[in-house]
Amino acid sequence: MVEDGLPGGVDDAPPQPLVLPVPEPRRRPPTLAIVLLSASVGLVGGAAAAWGVYQRLGPVERIVATQPSQGPGGPVTPSYQSIAASAAPSVVKVLTRPLSAADLAGRPTGFAVGFVASADGLVVTSAHALNGATRLRVAFPDGHAVDASVAGTDLVHGIAVLRAADSRQLPPLSFADPEAQAPRPGDLAITVGSPPFAATSVTAGQISSTGRVVPAAAAGAAGGAVVDVTTIDATADPSEDGAPVLDAAGRVIGVVLAGGDGAPPGVLALSGRSAADLVAAIERGGSARRPTLGVDAVVLDPATAVAVGLRSGALVRAVVPGGPSDAAGLVAGDVVTALDGIPLDAQHPLDAVTLNLTEGQRVVLTVVHAGAERSVSVVVGGG
């Protein structure tokens, strides 16, 4: 631990030389003696000069230049300013109800944030941000605004995609490839928002956990709990609901969720993979239905599992009545340890989208019920 001031027993006077017994000198060649004498004078002079600098300027920090770290696309320099400047033209304000000047003079509600995800006007935000919306309008950083409609939602992951009524080319943000580099604890995460009365806001922190489940009450989601949530060690700002969460290369890895009471601490980020998949499905003109197993499960890590005498995997907290897992006989309290032989953990939660499942696909779950292990066949549903 570093204490304020200098170490005890040290004052401002220059240190006194330490006197040691000197053995009887031996005769050396004149040339060597001259060299040693010159070196001694140099050392003494250098020390005196350094002490003078210290007295006048104090300690001097040594600055070491480092090369930028390497990422999948080449060198990556985590400069908050450059990342925010590149992303800002794609970050928009989302108006969810008509507002007057009097409304703005108070504490305005009805604002959310989103970001452009395709050149033809698809805008990603959080489903929570649209709760109670009576009118949707998107305002862009260049000063124009257009009406918008809901193009698709994924309530299991809390994602909503809007279609802005504008044909102009808009600068989209790109999504990170979850297969190449999934978000991990310790990674840098940056949110770029557009709150009321400000063009841009930037929040940076480290990812603290992944694969979290946020209860419906805390997520404000009509469809139930929100899964595959990432937490970031940073101060949450409710006005950033729907803002993009970026990695050190400026790629989208999540969407901000303004969680309520009971939500994990820090900034909450909805699944970037789910947002990318939903945008891709809408662009293909296909159904915006999302694959689902019809189950609310939370990852049970090995330490927690062994502490309570259970197997690690996905602990089933609730089953959607009439859903795929309900039809297969799963109940709350079951622990699903694997899906098609793949062990379930924080990177592989019991989530159809994260596991790249498709509607109609048949999978086999390894389930521990009342201490007994069994295999259960489940057909993936859609919703």
Which domain CATH number covers 372? 2.30.42.10
Q: Which residues contact 40 (CB under 8 A, 6 or more apart)?
A: none
Residue range of the domain that includes 243: 77-99+108-288
| 376 and 229 co-located in one domain | no
Tell whether 138 is covered by a domain: yes
Tell whether 12 is covered by a domain: no
| 338 and 202 co-located in one domain | no
| 295 and 284 co-located in one domain | no
Residues 201, 204, 209, 210, Cα dihedral to 10°: 60
First to last CA, the chain: 55
| 249 and 279 co-located in one domain | yes
> In whole angstroms, what is the distance from residue 328 CA to residue 349 CA?
18
| 262 and 229 co-located in one domain | yes
Beta-bridged to residue 192, according to DSSP, are: 202
Domain boundary among 232, 253, 288: 288
| 237 and 377 co-located in one domain | no
| 354 and 222 co-located in one domain | no
Whether this prediction's pTM lies above 0.75 is answered by no
DSSP 8-class letter at 312: S
- Give me the DSSP letters along 133-177: -S--EEE-TTS-EEEEEEEEEETTTTEEEEEES--S---PPPBP-
Tell whether 44 is covered by a domain: no
Tell whether 21 is covered by a domain: no
Tell whether 263 is covered by a domain: yes
> What is the full per-residue pLDDT of the chain (383 aa) written as tens digits?
434 433 444 444 454 544 444 444 444 445 444 444 444 444 445 444 444 434 443 443 333 333 444 555 554 445 788 898 999 999 999 998 887 777 777 666 788 999 999 988 899 999 998 988 888 999 888 888 899 999 998 888 999 999 988 756 778 999 998 777 778 899 999 999 988 888 788 999 999 998 888 887 777 755 578 888 999 999 888 889 999 999 999 999 999 998 877 788 899 999 999 999 999 989 888 656 778 898 888 888 899 888 989 999 999 988 888 889 999 999 999 999 999 999 998 888 888 888 888 889 999 999 999 899 999 999 998 86
Domain boundary among 234, 260, 288: 288
The predicted pLDDT at position 221 comes to: 57
Tell whether 1 is covered by a domain: no
| 94 and 177 co-located in one domain | yes
Single-letter amino acid code for the residue at 193? G
| 304 and 367 co-located in one domain | yes
Number of domains in the chain: 2
The predicted pLDDT at position 72 comes to: 52
Q: Is the CA virtual torsion 355, 358, 364, 365 positive or negative?
A: positive
| 134 and 193 co-located in one domain | yes
The predicted pLDDT at position 299 comes to: 86
Whether the Cβ atoms of residue 250 and residue 102 lie closer than 8 Å to each other:
no
The predicted pLDDT at position 35 comes to: 41
168, 169, 309 from 213: Cα distances, Å: 38, 36, 22
| 114 and 188 co-located in one domain | yes
Single-letter amino acid code for the residue at 294? G
Domain boundary among 288, 313, 343: 288
Whether the Cβ atoms of residue 68 and residue 75 lie closer than 8 Å to each other:
yes
Whether the Cβ atoms of residue 275 and residue 257 lie closer than 8 Å to each other:
no
> Which CATH number belongs to the domain containing residue 259 in this structure?
2.40.10.120
Tell whether 95 is covered by a domain: yes
| 276 and 348 co-located in one domain | no
- Give me the DSSP letters along 233-283: ES---GGGTT-EEE-TTS-EEEEEE---TTPPSSEEEEEHHHHHHHHHHHH
Tell whether 221 is covered by a domain: yes
